[in-house]
Amino acid sequence: SMDVLVQWLETPGNYDRWRDSPSAACQDAFSFLKEPGIDHRSAGAIGTKIYRTKEKWGDVTTLLKDSGLFDAYKKGEVDAGIRASVNKKCPVYDRLSTVF
């Protein structure tokens, strides 16, 4: 379900809608997830998931910046250990970097 939620977030305008009008956007995301049969999350739970995922993304960004690795990471110039650490903390970090 996370992959489908990220697809929804990657759709131009959806993240901005969530930020500006979370209730309506979460209802739209709920409908989007329901299309492929993902109906175990309520609209409110989807909003919480987006919020927590954005927090994780922000935490990883802060960690990379504080350790002086942010620019190297963005250029793909970090070792596999750093990349694995990022993926462990926020598995969708790279995909959401274009959204957040």
Cβ proximity of 60 and 44 under 8 Å: no
Q: What is the pLDDT of residues 31-43, one digit of tens each?
A: 999 999 999 999 9
Residue-wise pLDDT tens digits, 53-87:
999 999 999 999 999 999 999 999 999 999 999 99
Distance of CA 91 to the CA centre of its chain: 9
Residue 32 is predicted with a pLDDT of: 97
Report which residue type is found at 99. Answer: V
Contacts for 50 with CB less than 8 Å, ≥ 6 apart? 5, 9, 18, 26, 29
